[in-house]
Copies of this chain bind each other. A is one copy, B any other.
């Protein structure tokens, strides 16, 4: 039986609406030109390239998947359909933390270690407003200097110029392409704008929250609810003069997580210290991830969550696309303002107007 996604009622109170930053960036315009210049290849080309683990082809395929152009959609679907069966064989890790918490440095240090140990590491980002964040403007490859030189690593900046929903779809599809290309560790970074942490949580197995050492007992401007998403909390920059504060912060969060429901059933959120810069605590962090993976695979929670995530994505994609189709419909667009005016002036009952518009849309 179809189950409708939970519906949150509309409200006119701005405190209850989720604003998604729709900042538009043009970072990818160069890439888009590249597709054009070289011309689109047949799906076969990208499929074979991905299966062979060719990084350049993987990058081109992702650019096609990220494109909003109609002509790329069919090609993207062809590619996806052929590679989906090779996806799934990875651990997917989400990493969040305020700007300055050291996410890039951690990914650089951790990713480099894992690459050199024979893993294939892909780094993706979910960030609907990356054009605003300084870090991303500098370019992810600059931020991850060591990792970007590794043969086994693939770094991809956040898809830009889109709403969170659009970014989420693209990142999920990029993730599939990376897995099909043999990447067995997927790191997905977010700076936690708007709902992006929830979005990332909904596509990963393990979710890491990064914090800075702090004197106070405040929650460092972390959004309420973020701690509840985390399977581990890493207090970074636990080095030099910071060590005492880092331990204070660790202790404080260890207390806090007692009162919060587990992000993953059967797994108590771990709080750990690290210095990504000095490379301390990084291997211990990886041990936590491995232990988590083992536990949740034994209990089947790992696999069940993945299935649930897929189905949940399926429903939300259908629902989003259906609503988009409605609002993009030419006749609806043309008449919309007129109906709004009638409703504002109490000339027609809302349910009546809604009914007429839906009949129009569905009767075509």
Q: A residues within 8 Å of B by Cβ?
A: 1-13, 15-20, 76-77, 80-81, 84-85, 87-88, 164-165, 168-169, 172-173, 176, 195, 198-199, 201-202, 224-225, 228-229, 261, 263, 305, 307-327, 332-333, 336, 339-340, 343-344, 346-355, 357-358, 361-362, 364
Contact = CB atoms under 8 A, between A and B. Distances in A.
B195 A8 contact: yes
B229 A13 contact: yes
Nearest to A317: B354
Nearest to A19: B6
Contacts of A312: 10-12
A315 B4 CA distance: 17
B305 A80 contact: no
B350 A313 contact: yes
B323 A319 contact: yes
Contacts of A357: 318
B80 A354 contact: no
Which 5 A-B residue pairings sit nearest by Cβ, starting from the closest? A80-B349, A10-B316, A2-B327, A11-B202, A317-B354
Contacts of A164: 9
Contacts of A353: 314
Given A1-B336, A80-B352, 10 more contacts: A1-B333, A2-B333, A2-B336, A8-B18, A8-B195, A10-B316, A11-B199, A81-B352, A321-B358, A322-B322
Most buried by B among A12, A168, A173, A311: A12
Contacts of A315: 10
A323 B5 CA distance: 9
12 contacts: A4-B323, A7-B165, A9-B168, A9-B202, A13-B198, A15-B229, A77-B351, A84-B348, A310-B350, A314-B339, A318-B354, A321-B358
A157 to B, nearest CB: 21
A351 B65 CA distance: 11
